[in-house]
Amino acid sequence: MCNQLTVQQTAQLLLERDRILILSHQSPDGDTIGSGYALCRALHQLGKRAAVLCADAIPWRMTFVASGMKEALWLTPEQAEYVVAVDIADVKLMGSALSQYQQPGAVDLCIDHHPSNTRYARDLLLCPKEAAACQILYDVITAMGVSIDQKIAQCLYLGIATDTGCFRYSNTQSRSHEIVSKLMETGFDWYSINYRMFELKTKAQMDLERRALQTLHFCCDGKAAMIAVTQEMLSQSGATMDDVEGITATARNLEGVEIGATLKERPEGGFKISVRTSESVDASAICAVFGGGGHIRASGCLIREPLEKAIRLLEERFAAALAGTLPVFTD
């Protein structure tokens, strides 16, 4: 039983409630954190008690979202009377620390933009065409009659800017720019968010990236490229695998390359493979051969072999995919 709500109905429901606990997903990104804190600040502005709860700490680049909160209006999870999940497609994504909210009926309202949403909440505002949950929150907060101040604007901006890769990815919408244009009129310091999220690198991150780029390797007459990140590189640089997230696109975005892959060594051995392809090649078909899958342009799989063998196996599959002799699986 899941009621689909409109923006207006959602705003009305929130206006009628108090003591509201907002859940963000584990390994939080800018969109779930931005959505959570924007809604929390809007509820505080209305004099309501509200708090944001997440299984993991806010990443250090995003801690600004929590600065200058009205502490008197914060609440503990035990004091909550109404539970709202933001940007959480499935209860499993809350993380085991929040298992109590994974029970049926535990979440009163979910506000989300993932088409894969499992409809676990009693009430649901699902807008699968929106580039970011923060775009939905912009509508909900406006419909609640809250005026968007600089603090709310910076939270919403964080979500929209991160989910669209700072307006570079193909999911960016005319509406993303339109909302951001209005948010910027509040005069908040959006550049320091861009700096932290898109420009600033840690020394460890740069060192890992430098080491990984040394492994860049072409095959199939330059039509495929691979980059490897090993556990040894992680320990030498002091970085984590999360620090090379940006590198997955690097190989694919080289001129003439139709298949780009990163091979990330797992602590327990073997490699997590991410494959990105151009329009002419099916990434999911390549990964299906190794028991993996995903989308047609971006897929993943696991190869439990040493690096050199993994590279050789991938090269064979890439050559077959480029020659069109690989069996095609659909999403």
| 89 in Cβ contact with 60 (< 8 Å) | no
Angle formed at CA 328 by CA 327 and CA 331, multiple of 5 degrees: 145
Other Cβ atoms closer than 10 A to 217: 15
In the stretch 230-249, what mask flags binding to a second copy with x, by CB under 8 A?
-------------------x
- Nearer to a second copy by C-beta: 67 or 174? 174
Three-state DSSP at 183 gives helix
* Encoded tokens for 1: 């039983």
205, 215, 216, 278, 301 from 260: Cα distances, Å: 21, 13, 10, 9, 14
Of 49-57, 70-78, 164-172, 283-291: span binding a second copy (CB under 8 A):
164-172
Exposed e or buried b for every residue in 174-186, given b needs 16+ CB within 10 A? Answer: eebeebbeebeeb
Those residues with Cβ within 8 angstroms of residue 101's Cβ, 6 or more apart along the chain or in another chain = 23, 83, 85, 91, 94, 107
Tell me: does residue 307 bind a second copy (CB under 8 A). Answer: no
Report which of 81, 86, 84, 68 is spatially closest to residue 25, judged by C-alpha positions: 86
Residue closer to a second copy by CB (options 54, 158) is 158
Q: Which of 16, 71, 242, 255 binds a second copy (CB under 8 A)?
A: 255
**Region from 15-23, 202-210, 293-301, 305-313 binding a second copy, contact rule CB under 8 A:** 202-210
Residue among 4, 8, 105, 203 that touches a second copy (CB under 8 A): 203
Kindly state whether residue 256 participates in binding a second copy, applying the rule CB under 8 A.
yes
Closest approach of a second copy to the CB of residue 34, in Å:
17
Choose, by CB under 8 A, the member of 253, 280, 306, 324 that binds a second copy.
253
Among 213, 238, 280, 304, binds a second copy (CB under 8 A): 213
The single residue among 102, 123, 142, 198 that binds a second copy, judged by CB under 8 A, is 198
The encoded tokens of residue 124 equal: 């649901």
Binding mask 166-195 for a second copy (x = CB under 8 A): xxxxx-xxxxxxx-xxx-xx----xx--xx
Min dist. Cβ of residue 165 to a second copy (A): 9
Q: Which residues contact 73 (CB under 8 A, 6 or more apart)?
A: 43, 44, 47, 48, 49, 50
Q: Select from 32-40, 69-77, 165-173, 266-274 the region that touches a second copy (CB under 8 A).
A: 165-173
Closer to a second copy by CB, 118 or 194: give it. Answer: 194
Q: How many CA atoms lie within 13 A of 285 on its CB side?
A: 19
Alpha-carbon distance 331 to 328, whole Å? 10
Q: How far is the CB of 88 from a second copy (least distance, A)?
A: 28
Report if residue 221 touches a second copy, rule: CB under 8 A: no
Q: Which stretch binds a second copy (CB under 8 A): 95-103, 138-146, 209-217, 323-331?
A: 209-217
Pairing of strands 217-219, 224-229: antiparallel
Identify whether the C-beta of residue 235 lies closer than 8 Å to the C-beta of residue 201: no
Report which residue type is found at 108: D
Residue number with CB closer to a second copy (15 or 220): 220
Please tell me whether residue 202 binds a second copy under the rule CB under 8 A: yes
Count residues binding a second copy (CB under 8 A): 41
- Per CB under 8 A, the segment of 12-20, 47-55, 119-127, 214-222 that binds a second copy is 214-222
Q: Quote the distance between the C-alpha of residue 148 and its chain's center.
A: 24
Burial grade of 329 (CB within 10 A; 0-12, 13-18, 19 or more): middle
Q: Would you count residue 142 as binding a second copy (CB under 8 A)?
A: no
Residue 112's DSSP bridge partners are: 126
Residues that bind a second copy (CB under 8 A): 166-170, 172-178, 180-182, 184-185, 190-191, 194-195, 198-203, 206, 209-210, 213-214, 216, 218, 222, 249-250, 253-256
